[in-house]
């Protein structure tokens, strides 16, 4: 089976700690791969000891097409690493400080990762087999590589417009010009950017962001000022003038190579997302929501009131999912689908709603009612089968919700794909903790769908196997080849 992922990080960790090893993106010798963490929810103790995505795992798991999100770690994230080791980025603090010393601006860190990944050996032995990858230079080269049977085909994106920052003071005219000029430089690289995610964890003077960090207790209180969505003039929650100009350049086919870079709305403040939907509509641009979950809240006006904390699910929403404003409300889902856009599903437990106890109990009670046994001999270490399947349920129920609220439900099945966000500071669902486990996940998704009574009315004439193939491969490939 072949697979597609619209958002993961193949080279982020390796670039930080293995700068001189051009095989690090292929191999397990970079200090991360180690023994996989135990399959226990919210267990972060083993996170820095394994990679969730690398080229070898892509090859072994059949990931034929993947978007590698280049990302310059933000200064607050690097500084946070000393206070909470491994939680902020899963990269040892000493390596973060070394990176910060070598690359004094975010744009330098971005260029370093691009050059590092571009210099990665295109061929490598994986378990005794010759594996090959390539980075697409344009649609023609991508199609040629697919025809030639290249094992892993990579397209690039950038996560966070802060990646184009210099050291100019925030809010200054100098920073405004540097952001635009640095984007223009990146737009001339040998390999185009398929999309740009406008923001990430911290405010970047381009666009307001949503709170997204899973920081516990006292640490959250200590660090909230660094990352809160309102750390900007007068509680601004939209797109700045710099942001509008950056979007105009990105979608306008600018530069000597006449390239268009699509915009990804992940991490945007819910108000900024509404602002961008209007821009996309006026310019007939498909909206990308690359690594999302759903909130279960119907209207934008209700969704924007939610305070992102552990009590959110108790006071608002439909009792399911994760109602934080970083996730999509029903009104937004339909806007994205009507734009001919695509929604990638994040595999982070928290984003999918694992922290919502009511949602978890509903899923486990359903599985028990369908006769799912507590243990099955084929699962490692006598793993609780219904416990593992309810993690599948987190993903499948998010997918089904998108279809249920869509105006055109049958078409919606063509607009959902994987956006796993592996190695992007996530705690993945327990039955797919690395990218080479996509096949196991697909099998589990089919199994879960077949347990649901009257599931046919949600499948719009497709079989469970057909919709899972669409989500895991076909939809993403079609979207990429249409808009790249």
Residue 62 corresponds to which tokens in the numbers above?
């059949």
Average pLDDT, the chain: 86
Tokens of 449: 């769908």
Q: Which tens digits make up the pLDDT trace of 124-158?
A: 999 999 999 999 999 999 999 999 999 999 999 99
Give every CB contact of residue 286 below 8 A, 6+ residues apart in sequence. 262, 280, 339, 340, 341, 342, 479, 483
Contacts of 262 (CB under 8 A, 6+ apart): 194, 195, 196, 250, 251, 285, 286, 288, 483
CATH label of the domain that carries residue 115: 3.20.20.140
Instruction: Name which of 29, 27, 25 is nearest 15 in CA terms.
Output: 25
Range from 50-59, 160-169, 243-252, 393-402 carrying the lowest mean pLDDT:
50-59
Residue range 29-52, pLDDT digits in tens: 334 433 444 444 444 333 445 788
**How far does Cα 183 stand from its chain's mean position?**
21
Task: Provide the residue range defining the domain that includes 106.
Answer: 3-483
pTM for this one? 0.92
**Stretch 159-186: mean pLDDT, rounded?**
95
How many domains does the structure of the chain reveal?
1
Residue 318 banded pLDDT, cuts 50, 70, 90: low
Q: What share of the chain is helix, strand, coil (3-state, %, to 5)?
A: 45, 15, 40
SS3 assignment, position 285: coil
Taking the C-alpha atoms of residue 196 and residue 138, their distance in angstroms, rounded to an integer, is 16
Tens of pLDDT, residue by residue over 244-299, are 999 999 999 777 788 999 999 999 999 999 999 999 999 999 999 999 999 999 99
């Amino acid at each position: 089976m072949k697979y597609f992922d619209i958002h993961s990080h193949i080279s982020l960790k390796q670039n930080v700690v293995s700068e001189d090893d051009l095989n690090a993106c292929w191999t397990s010798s970079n200090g991360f791969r180690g023994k996989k963490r135990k399959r226990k929810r919210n267990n972060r103790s083993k996170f820095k000891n394994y990679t969730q995505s690398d080229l070898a795992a892509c090859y072994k798991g059949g990931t034929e097409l993947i978007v590698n999100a280049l990302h310059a770690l933000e200064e607050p994230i690097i500084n946070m690493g000393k206070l909470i080791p491994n939680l902020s980025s899963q990269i040892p603090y000493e390596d973060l400080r070394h990176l910060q010393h070598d690359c004094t601006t975010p744009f330098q860190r971005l260029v370093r990762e691009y050059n590092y990944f571009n210099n990665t050996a295109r061929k490598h032995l994986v378990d005794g087999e010759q594996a090959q990858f390539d980075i697409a230079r344009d649609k023609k080269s991508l199609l040629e590589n697919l025809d030639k049977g290249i094992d892993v085909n990579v397209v690039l994106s950038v996560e966070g417009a802060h990646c184009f920052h210099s050291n100019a003071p925030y809010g200054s005219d100098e920073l405004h010009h540097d952001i635009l000029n640095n984007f223009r430089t990146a737009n001339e690289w040998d390999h185009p950017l398929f999309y740009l995610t406008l923001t990430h964890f911290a405010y970047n003077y381009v666009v307001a962001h949503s709170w997204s960090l899973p920081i516990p207790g006292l640490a959250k209180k200590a660090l909230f000022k660094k990352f809160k969505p309102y750390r900007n003039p007068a509680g601004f929650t939209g797109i700045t003038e710099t942001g509008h100009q950056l979007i105009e350049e990105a979608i306008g086919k600018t530069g000597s190579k006449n390239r268009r870079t699509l915009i990804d709305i992940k991490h945007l403040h819910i108000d900024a997302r509404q602002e961008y939907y209007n821009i996309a509509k006026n310019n007939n641009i498909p909206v990308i929501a690359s690594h999302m979950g759903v909130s279960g809240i119907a209207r934008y006006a209700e969704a924007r009131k939610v305070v992102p904390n552990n009590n959110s699910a108790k006071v608002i929403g439909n009792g399911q999912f994760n109602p934080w404003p970083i996730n999509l409300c029903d009104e937004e889902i339909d806007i994205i689908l009507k734009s001919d856009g695509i929604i990638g599903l994040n595999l982070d437990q928290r984003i999918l709603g694992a922290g919502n106890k009511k949602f978890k109990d509903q899923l486990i009670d359903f599985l028990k009612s369908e006769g799912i046994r507590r243990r099955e001999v084929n699962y490692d270490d006598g793993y609780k089968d219904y416990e593992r399947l309810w993690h599948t349920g987190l993903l499948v129920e998010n997918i089904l919700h998108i279809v249920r609220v869509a105006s055109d439900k049958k078409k919606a099945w063509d607009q959902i794909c994987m956006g796993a966000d592996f190695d992007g500071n996530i705690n993945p669902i327990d039955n797919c903790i690395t990218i080479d486990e996509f096949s196991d996940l697909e099998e589990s998704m089919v199994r879960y769908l077949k347990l649901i009574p009257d599931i046919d009315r949600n499948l719009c004439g497709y079989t469970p196997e057909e919709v899972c193939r669409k989500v895991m491969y076909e939809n993403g490939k079609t979207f990429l080849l249409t808009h790249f």
